[in-house]
A and B are shown apart, each in its own frame.
Chain A
Amino acid sequence: KAGVTQTPRYLIKTRGQQVTLSCSPISGHRSVSWYQQTPGQGLQFLFEYFSETQRNKGNFPGRFSGRQFSNSRSEMNVSTLELGDSALYLCASSLRTDNTEAFFGQGTRLTVV
């Protein structure tokens, strides 16, 4: 079956702009999580969604927001982009039952110039 699909794969934006990233989970998966990966900070948790509800949020400013739709697809939005937002943004999906594993997409590489 198809894996986790993230679009777009690459994105270049200018400081001050906003951006929306998309994640389509594996069919049947209802839990979606987002992570930011940078060389300096490593992998940091952004959000966790299950059945359209945000269950957890990481320590990021309010410029970072997300949502999940009824078909489990998720989007994250970053407003007023800063140079430091340049990163690989990874989405993971899981079934959300005991002993399940998270499957990651290939990520969206965001560059802010």
Chain B
Amino acid sequence: GNSVTQMEGPVTLSEEAFLTINCTYTATGYPSLFWYVQYPGEGLQLLLKATKADDKGSNKGFEATYRKETTSFHLEKGSVQVSDSAVYFCALRGYNTDKLIFGTGTRLQVFP
């Protein structure tokens, strides 16, 4: 079945450092891929998405490229801020369904 694997956290960085959170997936067909972010006490917010191979999703300085050859969708940001501290979830959605399959989440802590 479909699945998502995310790197374990927490990831601890200093402000302005470069961020990478790895995400790989297993799926049949051509899933859509997403990164969601969850701030303390909140629900999930969509950060970015990509719906086909080689698409690059981007938002608020975050980027991720849909790599079919490596089945990956790694999240990157060139310069993190303290306000980026949150839990990040990689997710996939298969064809003709709204069901999302999530990774385990990666907690990011950014210190000034």
Closest to B51 in A: A99
Which residue in B32, B42, B49 is a CB contact (below 8 Å) of A106? B42
A43 near B46 with CB under 8 A, answer no
A101 near B46 with CB under 8 A, answer yes
**A75 is an interface residue with CB less than 8 A from chain B:** no
A42 near B102 with CB under 8 A, answer yes
B43 near A102 with CB under 8 A, answer no
Would you list which residues of chain B between 33 and 48 have a CB under 8 Å from chain A?
A: 34, 36, 41-46
A31 near B43 with CB under 8 A, answer no
B104 near A42 with CB under 8 A, answer yes
Question: Interface size on B (CB < 8 Å)?
Answer: 22
Query: Which of B7-15, B16-24, B92-100 lies at the interface with chain A?
Result: B92-100
User: Which A residues lie within 8 Å of B46 (CB)?
Assistant: 101-103
Beyond the given pairs A42-B103, A94-B98, A104-B43, 19 more chain A to chain B contacts, judged by CB atoms under 8 angstroms and listed by A's residue number, are A4-B43, A33-B99, A43-B89, A43-B102, A43-B105, A45-B99, A45-B101, A55-B97, A56-B97, A56-B99, A90-B44, A92-B44, A99-B51, A101-B46, A101-B49, A102-B100, A103-B46, A105-B43, A106-B42
Question: What bracket does the count of chain A residues touching chain B fall in?
Answer: 20 to 34
Closest to A50 in B: B98
Closest to B34 in A: A101
